[in-house]
Structure formats: structure tokens, C-alpha cells
Amino acid sequence: MPIYVTLIKYTEQGLKTFENLPARIDDTRKYGEAQGAKLLAFYLTMGRYDAVVVSEAPDDETIAKLALAAGVRGNVTTETLRAFTEDEARKIAAELPAHSVRARLRKEVTPKAGARRSR
């Protein structure tokens, strides 16, 4: 299943009710599982985002529903990224025509035999 990384910022409401965080995580986990998704990890973070969630879902539509459901409650705003595993990234890279593009560029840049270099 595809992996997703969700970046979370707590709203003012979410901060005021932060003590309810464990119950919200449990509710999110249960709702996600009912949709065929799985919360793999939750991290409280420092910096630009307040938390990061790593999850697995069958497709983009499912993860969009989960993000919208979280936002509707008013405790968070989210930004969700599709994450590709190392194996998926290698497959994508292998399928790119980059090697032929690089070879063509080398031919265009390499001076031809007998060609004069400009100064």
C-alpha cells in the first residue's frame, strides 16, 4: 500500500484541548482502519510543524478523506505528502530516459573531430 506523510499544525482549539491528544490519536487510528488505512507512526515535533504522521492507505482518495475528517474537527490543519519507498524510488529512476538524455547532451557538447574551438 502507498505510504503517506502528513504534516500537522495544531489550531488554537487543538492547543487548548491538547490533553485530549491520546484519545484523538486513538480515534484517528480506528477511523483510518475502518477506511482500510493504517497509522504507522505518530511523532510530536518541534519546528514548523507540530506533529508528523506516517500512514499507509490503499489510495490517494482514502488519505484525502482521512485528512479532511481530521480538519473538520477543528483541531489541526494538515499537509499530506505521498512518500515513495527506496525501492519505489529506484524503480522510478530506472524507468526514466535520463541515460539517453545525458548521452544526447554529451554528444551535443563534445566538440567534433577537427572542429575549431572559439576563443
Q: Which domains does the chain have, with CATH numbers?
A: 3-83 (3.30.70.920)
pLDDT band, residue 68 (cuts 50/70/90): very high
Specify whether the CB–CB gap between 30 and 1 falls below 8 A.
Answer: no
Quick one: average pLDDT of 76-86?
Answer: 96
**Alpha-carbon span 80 to 108, nearest angstrom:** 41
The reported pLDDT for the residue numbered 104 is 64
Helix axis angle for 21-34 and 60-72, nearest 10°, is: 150
pLDDT band, residue 97 (cuts 50/70/90): confident
pTM exceeding 0.85: no
Q: Is the per-residue pLDDT at 100 higher than 90?
A: no
Specify whether the CB–CB gap between 76 and 8 falls below 8 A.
Answer: yes
What Å distances lie between residue 85 and 4, 27, 91, 92, CA to CA?
A: 10, 27, 10, 10
Q: Is the per-residue pLDDT at 66 higher than 70?
A: yes
**Alpha-carbon span 17 to 110, nearest angstrom:** 65
pLDDT band, residue 17 (cuts 50/70/90): very high
User: 31: which residues sit within 8 A by CB, 6+ positions away?
Assistant: 66, 69
